[in-house]
Amino acid sequence: MSSGNDCQPQTLTKPAFDEREAAELVDKVFGLKISWIRSLPSYDDQNFHVRVSAEGADEYVLKITNSADSQEPDLIEVQTQAMMFLSAEGFPSATPYLTKDGNIMSLESGGTGLGSKKYMVRLLTYLPGTPVAKITTNAQILYEIGRLAASVDKVLSEKFQHPSVKSLRRGQFIWNLANVPLLDQYVYALGQNKYRAVVEQVIEQFEGKVIPKLSSFRACINHGDLNDHNILVDSCSTSLENPQYRVSGILDFSDMSYGYYVFEVAIAIMYMMIESPDPLSVGGHVLAGFESILPLTAEERGALFLLVSGRFAQSLVIAAHTALLYPENKEYLTITAKTGWKHLMTMFEVGQEAVEKKWFETAQAYTHHTPAP
């Protein structure tokens, strides 16, 4: 859900291809004939689920990147190569179908928007599964998502190499958790209310308590957006009373950047809280899974509450700002807001000490009992 490499969360850069134009693009760039096409919801790119008349894997996602990010081909190249690398390492990540010229992407103009903008186009393998947002999460899948978050960042940081990997040092990229203080430019989108007051409190505490500690956190490459719509799962049990799930897909690498391991677990906790009927209990299960791969340091644990709060603030503020620019996409943009505000307010009402106690005690219990795979 990125746009741009600076602190602009969103400018009017979203592609506006209709289904006919998208089908023509697949034919022109990839040499494939479309037999079926359907638009998919998206934040600031444009995605289409397509079926093609060809041998082998016949379902793909046509991804048309917004025009701002399309001006950074090195960044998109690295993100796509990271997806290919993870797939080769055994992770359920999409891989690109090559263009007629043998490339993983192509810069194309078109769409029904104003002006002659260019958009980076890729055709990625379609991953089966159900978004986590559509299931009732339980301790088992929350633990698995924690393991996934740690495993992805660990293997990317330890083994992934690419000449353009430096493009992941994205400075003032608004979605990097280190940049929560940049939100003060966009809080106007909230108006004057109790929500704005709590966001300003998050920003102030983040600046005072998290920013000075960043240098003590362990650095890594972050996926950066392991939310409940970007993780797909399959059921691996027939029990209705105690369903078991496995992760079947990891989507959307557009927020990849250099960050810190603790950022990834905070992001995962925040998004897993969104749909949960008992949101404050979620963190301990995700944390336990994460720490089964990468135990956090005392400094990292101490920042977790404000990092989760910071991600809530990022998601809620940027969505409100973007919805002002794209009122027609407001319903998708504000998915998180439906319960996000309530959860953020609850975290601050209950307080950091009590929330951390719940998370850490839940995680501690896993050292005596690890859920079955």
**Catalytic residue annotation:** 225
Q: Is 161 strand, coil or helix?
A: coil
Placement of tokens 């029990």 in the chain: 239
Please tell me what DSSP assigns to residue 160: -
The four Cα atoms 221, 227, 233, 238 give a dihedral, to 10 degrees, of: 130
Element (H, E) at 217: none
% helix, strand, coil for the chain, step of 5: 50, 15, 35
Conformation bin of residue 343: beta by default, left when phi > 0, alpha when psi is -120 to 50:
alpha
CB 105 within 8 Å of CB 99: yes
Virtual torsion, Cα 2, 68, 101, 28, nearest 10 deg:
100
